[in-house]
């Protein structure tokens, strides 16, 4: 046997061994009954899946489906300006791209989905990322790179027509509104009656202003210095927060109700979005980006060292749809609840944003598009692990609405124990005391659960029980920080989109120099997500219950739109033999989003269907009865209005998806009718001429 052959043989053997190891890990996590499973098995199964998918499936897409061409000139080379278009080292660009796609989504969804056990979530995260999420990110990046780094909206307009472009834009605006509302709700839920948490999160505003002034006037552009100052102040605020929470004078000042917090947040979103970017948004963005990457890295290391046991069962009885965290059965609602981490439409915006303008060579689209999404999926796996290492009784007490489990540890322990997750009232009070909070009951929204899980893991790595409260509030701060950044940035984006859309009818409205137009559009943006946020806060079923499925549906819907675009482009390239690569996930996402959307509208169970819920309330109003959660007739009518607004929103999502399906089918039919390639890629030769 020659050396080369031996090497080839060893390579194949290594991949085979990896596949066997992955299969063994899957067997352990899927077949475990009765005894706890170590989190490392989940990590092993995930990493084996990622490596195999990257080595084989992404290579197949790169060379056979897309025919990536290493000799082709990328936009970064063609339009190199040292600013937006810069050929960038692929590892540096990977970091940039990952930081842009990683956010709150993969942290919240898996935590909520843990109510069905860790296994369904794990399988969907892994299968979803390999066949849908990473494929979408990779294909959109490829399409954008071959078209001068154009954005998703522009790509849809040029490949599928103006109407499709406008519909997609309205869809994206609706998603923004729901996304900002649900993220706001996550923050509110984490900070209600938590002086420690609220103090530290509030402190980030003056800290950001200080950093902003420093980086603008005192030492212009010294990012490392301003970030270091910000980080030190942030940690100081975290320590001071404990003193605040123990002070009889200050604790009440920072113990606010959900309603007050929601109004403050809406006001903040409006003000922050009209202030100059260097003052609050940019400096806090720097802090939250570095903190996010740092915390993810620390958590990954901690899981490897601590090797926690999963206490959540592999599968719980709530796969039947009766779960308290979110209503609805495994199909389709698991696939809606875990959006980011498996597949996220938002990444299509990033993949067609700054990244395609910095790609050195188009073959690197595989490493950056497909690879970064695998890493994002790993973040979702870590969130799932963090939620599964907590005692299941505590998990359900934290994530079930007060309307279901009551408001005292005694009631909660009894209800949750009756579900089969034994827990004592003392244990619930003890966890609250450990993390430095008065109560942990009904803190839905994912962030607090994740924070307890992270505190559990991180305190095992460093500090033990003594530092548990510190780690808990650190985790809350880490999430709140980048959620606030998203609220601020998102309100600005929504404002621009509103100006664009309204501008189609009233041309003067587009003028970004007009203060009146800016303030009106910003107000509209903040009011629209604020409406849903406030509605979620006063909802006694916790709000997350209603809003998260709406967000999941909308995010998956955007992914479906992006994948429809990818399918159309493959047909136009006359590569339809491989159109199944984007079509397979498109079909699955369409099935899930449409089923979930229609169930949210028409399901006969009032806990799931908005219209059934509205019927129940309007019948009660007709009989002069007041139903919980409402306490007065006026509140009854408000519940009814909310139901109709939610139903309208869902119907609009469904309509957008159907319109895009039709637009996609029409474009495919046209492409098939033409004998030649009908998509226009930028001529790579042109760009070089610019600088020659």
Partner 1 sequence: MRERVAPLLRRLSETAMLMIGVPDYDNYVAHRRQHHPDEPVMTYEQFFRERQDSRYGFGKGKFKGCC
CA distance 167 to 157: 10
Give least dist CB 341 to partner 1, A: 8
B/e letters for 299-311, b = 16+ CB within 10 Å, e = fewer, are: bbebbeebebebb
* Span interacting with partner 1, options 152-160, 244-252, 567-575, 602-610, rule CB under 8 A: 152-160
CA-based nearest residue to 586, from 610, 562, 611: 562
Residues 466-505 touching partner 1, rule: CB under 8 A, are: 486, 489-490, 492-493, 496, 500
* Span interacting with partner 1, options 6-14, 99-107, 325-333, 598-606, rule CB under 8 A: 99-107
Residue 275 binding partner 1, by CB under 8 A = no
Nearer to partner 1, 104 or 614 (CB): 104
Residue 517 contacts residue 509 (beta carbons within 8 Å): yes
Give least dist CB 625 to partner 1, A: 41
Residue 348 contacts residue 341 (beta carbons within 8 Å): no
Strand-pairing partners, residue 37, are 310
Distance of CA 136 to the CA centre of its chain: 15
Structure tokens given for 176: 């923004």
* Span interacting with partner 1, options 289-297, 431-439, 618-626, 658-666, rule CB under 8 A: 289-297
CA distance 482 to 170: 25
How many residues bind partner 1, per CB under 8 A? 62
CA-based nearest residue to 346, from 504, 551, 537, 206: 551
3-class SS at 342? coil
CA-based nearest residue to 121, from 107, 131, 111: 111
Residues 177-236 touching partner 1, rule: CB under 8 A, are: 179, 183, 220-221, 223-224
Give least dist CB 416 to partner 1, A: 29
3-class SS at 285? helix
Compute the CA torsion angle 519, 520, 526, 531 (nearest 10 deg).
150
CA distance 363 to 330: 38
Give least dist CB 558 to partner 1, A: 11
Distance of CA 98 to the CA centre of its chain: 13
Sole binder of partner 1 in the list 282, 385, 468, 526 (CB under 8 A): 282
Nearer to partner 1, 180 or 657 (CB): 180
Nearer to partner 1, 112 or 310 (CB): 112
Structure tokens given for 95: 């970091």
Query: Per-residue string for binding with partner 1, 551-580, x by CB under 8 A?
Result: ----x-------------------------
Residues 639-668 touching partner 1, rule: CB under 8 A, are: none
Distance of CA 482 to the CA centre of its chain: 12
CA distance 471 to 314: 27
Strand-pairing partners, residue 88, are 359
Q: CA-CA distances (angstroms) from residue 589 to 22, 94, 373, 545? A: 26, 27, 17, 21
Query: Per-residue string for binding with partner 1, 233-272, x by CB under 8 A?
Result: ----------------------------------------
Sole binder of partner 1 in the list 74, 194, 352, 567 (CB under 8 A): 352
* Span interacting with partner 1, options 288-296, 431-439, 457-465, 521-529, rule CB under 8 A: 288-296
Nearer to partner 1, 286 or 396 (CB): 286
CA-based nearest residue to 453, from 431, 438, 481: 431
Residues 59-98 touching partner 1, rule: CB under 8 A, are: 80-84, 86, 88-89, 91-93, 95-96
Give least dist CB 106 to partner 1, A: 6
* Span interacting with partner 1, options 195-203, 281-289, 421-429, 637-645, rule CB under 8 A: 281-289
Query: Per-residue string for binding with partner 1, 575-614, x by CB under 8 A?
Result: ----------------------------------------
Residue 346 binding partner 1, by CB under 8 A = yes
Sole binder of partner 1 in the list 46, 53, 66, 102 (CB under 8 A): 102
Nearer to partner 1, 492 or 613 (CB): 492
Nearer to partner 1, 354 or 576 (CB): 354
Instruction: Cite the DSSP H helix spans in 102-222.
Output: 105-113, 118-128, 134-145, 152-160, 162-191, 195-213
CA-based nearest residue to 178, from 522, 540, 544: 544
Interface positions with partner 1 (CB under 8 A): 80-84, 86, 88-89, 91-93, 95-96, 99-106, 151-154, 176, 179, 183, 220-221, 223-224, 277-278, 281-282, 285-286, 289-290, 293, 339-341, 344, 346-347, 349-350, 352-354, 358, 486, 489-490, 492-493, 496, 500, 555, 691
């Amino acid at each position: 046997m020659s050396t080369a052959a031996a090497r080839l043989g060893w390579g194949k053997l290594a991949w085979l061994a990896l596949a066997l190891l992955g299969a063994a890990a899957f067997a352990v996590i899927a077949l475990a009954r009765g005894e706890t499973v170590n989190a490392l098995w989940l990590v092993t199964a995930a990493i084996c899946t990622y490596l195999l998918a990257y080595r084989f499936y992404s290579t197949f897409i790169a060379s056979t489906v897309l025919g990536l061409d290493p000799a082709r000139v990328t936009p970064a080379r063609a339009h190199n300006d040292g600013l937006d278009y810069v050929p960038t080292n692929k590892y540096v660009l990977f970091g940039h791209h990952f930081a842009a796609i990683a956010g709150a989504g993969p942290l919240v969804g898996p935590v909520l989905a843990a109510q069905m056990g860790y296994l369904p979530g794990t399988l969907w995260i892994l299968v979803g990322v390999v066949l849908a999420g990473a494929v979408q990110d990779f294909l959109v990046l490829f399409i954008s790179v071959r078209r001068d780094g154009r954005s998703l909206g522009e790509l849809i307009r040029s490949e599928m027509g103006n109407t499709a472009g406008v519909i997609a834009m309205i869809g994206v605006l609706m998603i923004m509104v729901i996304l900002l509302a649900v993220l706001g709700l996550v923050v509110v839920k984490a900070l209600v009656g938590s002086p420690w948490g609220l103090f530290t999160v509030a402190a980030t505003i003056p800290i950001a202003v200080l950093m902003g002034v420093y980086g603008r006037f005192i030492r212009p552009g010294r990012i490392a210095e301003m970030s270091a100052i910000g980080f030190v102040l942030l940690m100081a605020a975290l320590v001071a927060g404990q003193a605040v929470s123990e002070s009889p004078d200050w604790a009440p000042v920072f113990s606010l109700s959900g309603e007050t917090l929601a109004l403050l947040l809406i006001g903040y979103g409006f003000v922050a979005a009209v202030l100059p970017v260097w003052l609050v948004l940019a400096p806090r963005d720097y802090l939250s980006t570095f903190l996010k990457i740092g915390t993810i890295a620390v958590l990954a290391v901690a899981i490897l060292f601590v090797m926690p046991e999963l206490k959540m069962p592999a599968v719980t009885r709530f796969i039947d749809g009766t779960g308290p965290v979110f209503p609805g059965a495994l199909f389709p609602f698991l696939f809606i609840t875990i959006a980011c981490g498996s597949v996220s439409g938002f990444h299509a915006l990033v993949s067609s944003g700054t990244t395609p303008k910095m790609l050195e060579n188009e073959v690197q689209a595989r490493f950056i598009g497909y690879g970064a999404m695998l890493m994002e999926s790993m973040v979702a796996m870590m969130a799932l692990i963090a939620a599964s290492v907590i005692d299941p009784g505590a998990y359900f007490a934290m994530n079930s609405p007060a309307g279901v489990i009551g408001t005292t540890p005694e009631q909660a322990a009894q209800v949750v124990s009756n579900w089969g997750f034994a827990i004592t009232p003392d244990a619930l009070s003890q966890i609250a005391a450990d993390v430095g909070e008065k109560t942990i009951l009904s803190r839905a929204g994912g962030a607090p659960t994740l924070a307890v899980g992270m505190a559990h893991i991180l305190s095992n790595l460093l500090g033990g029980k003594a530092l548990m409260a510190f780690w808990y509030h650190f985790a809350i701060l880490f999430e709140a920080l980048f959620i606030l950044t998203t609220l601020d940035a998102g309100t600005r984006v929504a404002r621009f989109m509103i100006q664009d859309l309204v501008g189609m009818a009233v041309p003067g409205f587009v003028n970004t120099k007009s203060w009146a137009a800016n303030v009106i559009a910003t107000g509209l943006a903040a009011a629209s997500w604020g409406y849903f946020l406030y509605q979620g806060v006063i909802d006694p079923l916790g709000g997350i219950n209603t809003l998260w499925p709406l967000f999941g549906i909308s995010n998956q819907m955007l992914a479906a739109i992006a994948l429809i675009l990818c399918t159309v482009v493959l047909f136009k390239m006359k590569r339809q033999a491989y159109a199944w690569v984007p079509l397979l996930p498109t079909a699955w996402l369409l099935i899930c989003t449409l089923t979930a959307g229609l169930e949210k509208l028409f399901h006969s169970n009032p806990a799931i269907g908005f219209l059934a819920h509205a019927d129940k309330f309007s019948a009660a109003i007709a009989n002069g009865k007041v139903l919980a959660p409402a306490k007065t007739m006026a509140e009854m009518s408000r519940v009814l209005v909310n139901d109709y607004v939610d139903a309208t929103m869902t119907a609009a999502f469904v309509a957008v998806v159907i319109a895009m399906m039709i637009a996609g089918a029409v474009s495919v039919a046209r492409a098939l009718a033409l004998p030649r390639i009908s998509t226009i890629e930028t001529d790579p030769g042109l760009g070089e001429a610019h600088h020659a």
